[in-house]
Amino acid sequence: MNLALKLALAAALSVVTAYGAFAAEFTKGTVKKVDAKAKKVTLIHEELKDLEMPAMTMVFRVKDETMLEKLKEGASIEFVAERVEGKLTVTEIK
């Protein structure tokens, strides 16, 4: 492998690694409804900057259904939402 190719691969790898190191942005929200059967939660949330979405109330899927056990109606939470297979999905909760 020539030096130029090695340098290009090293640069590409460092960009990917740096991108993965950024912390996901948590958004504040309030649990409005938990639907364990459908594996969904309805949240009243602040602006989702990463998804360019204004504050509103909406239904999300959850990445892992065990997350639903931690959620109670009326609870204030912080969460990360992402598009997973085209669906808005809560991927982290704290």
Question: How buried is 29 (Cβ within 10 angstroms: 0-12 exposed, 13-18 middle, 19+ buried)?
Answer: buried
Per this entry, what is the length of the chain?
94
Residue 67 dihedral angles phi and psi, to the nearest 5°: -60, -35
**What are the structural domains, with CATH classification, of the chain?**
24-93 (2.40.50.320)
CA–CA separation, 1 and 83 (whole Å): 38
pLDDT tens, N- to C-terminus, the chain (94 residues)? 566 556 555 555 554 444 444 567 999 999 999 999 999 999 999 999 989 999 999 999 999 999 999 999 999 999 999 999 999 999 999 9
Q: pTM of the prediction?
A: 0.75
Nearest one of 62, 71, 60 to 94, comparing CA atoms? 71
Q: Quickly tell me which residue has 């948590």 as its tokens.
A: 26
What pLDDT score does 16 carry?
A: 45
